[in-house]
Chain A
């Protein structure tokens, strides 16, 4: 049973560019959440997708957008990259039928903005 997968594992971009990160949820999960984890910090919630719609959103600007596909996979897009966007981006999947509805995390995408 494959867990949450993310691609790419590492990415280097320059300021002003745009980036797309991808996530495939754990089998049987229908909800995908995205988090940003800056160095030395805990993950910060960006947004959550369910049934192809954004259900919740954290305190992130509109430069951060996302999408969920019919197969429950998801993309995170960041436009007009800033140096401060450098972080580990974590995708987490969950299901309402889970025992604790805990979120299962992927290995993350390390984004470096130069």
Chain B
């Protein structure tokens, strides 16, 4: 079974609007971390936001917020007030277990295009 599932290959959003990128995960470990990365066409992965499995509050970082629904095993990324520079690939990732050196599992990504 896939550890991380991203079901939206491509998304479009109007500039200044909000957009939600979906991510579901699969793990039996009660301790895990969820990450979102942005990958522009240049290739470098840029860390956006983190949510720990024991965090009570949804994570927020500037215009990024994470809609964490633990029972549904979903960790959707919400980007508010979209900008043209937000156009990129977005990847959801998970690290299982307490060992913070454990590997990351990535989804297949969502391509976001912001329309002027």
A interface with B by C-beta (< 8 Å):
31, 33, 35, 40-45, 48, 50, 55-56, 58, 88, 90, 92, 94, 96, 98, 100-108, 110
Contact with B50, one of A56, A92, A100, A105 (Cβ below 8 angstroms): A100
The residue from A40, A45, A107 contacting B105, defined by CB atoms under 8 A apart: A45
Query: Would you give 13 A-B contacts (Cβ < 8 Å), ordered by A?
Result: A33-B103, A42-B6, A42-B93, A42-B107, A45-B103, A48-B101, A56-B103, A58-B103, A88-B43, A100-B50, A103-B47, A103-B104, A106-B44
Among A48, A96, A102: residue with most chain B CB under 10 A: A102
Query: In chain B, residues 10-26, which have Cβ atoms closer than 8 Å to a Cβ of chain A?
Result: none
B80 within 8 A of A: no
- Which residues on the A side are within 8 Å of B35 (C-beta)? 100, 102
Number of A-B contacts (CB under 8 A): 66
- The closest CB in chain A to the CB of B109 belongs to A42
Chain B, 85-116, CB within 8 A of any chain A CB: 91, 93, 95, 100-109
Give every chain A residue within 8 A of B46 (Cβ-Cβ). 105
| CB neighbors of A among B37-71 (8 A) | 37, 42-47, 50, 52
Q: Using C-beta atoms within 8 Å of the partner chain, give the interface range for chain B.
A: 20 to 34
CA distance A106 to B95 in the complex (A): 19
Task: Tell me the bound Cα distance from A101 to B52 in angstroms.
Answer: 11
- Is B45 within 8 A of A42, CB to CB? no
Name the B residues within 8 Å of A50 (CB-CB): 101
- Closest CB pairs A-B (n = 8): A42-B106, A101-B100, A105-B45, A100-B50, A45-B103, A108-B43, A107-B44, A102-B47
Q: A48-B101, A101-B100, A102-B35 are in contact. List 6 more A-B contacts (CB 8 A).
A: A42-B107, A42-B108, A56-B102, A100-B35, A102-B47, A110-B43
Residue in A41, A94, A101 with the greatest tally of chain B CB atoms within 10 Å:
A101
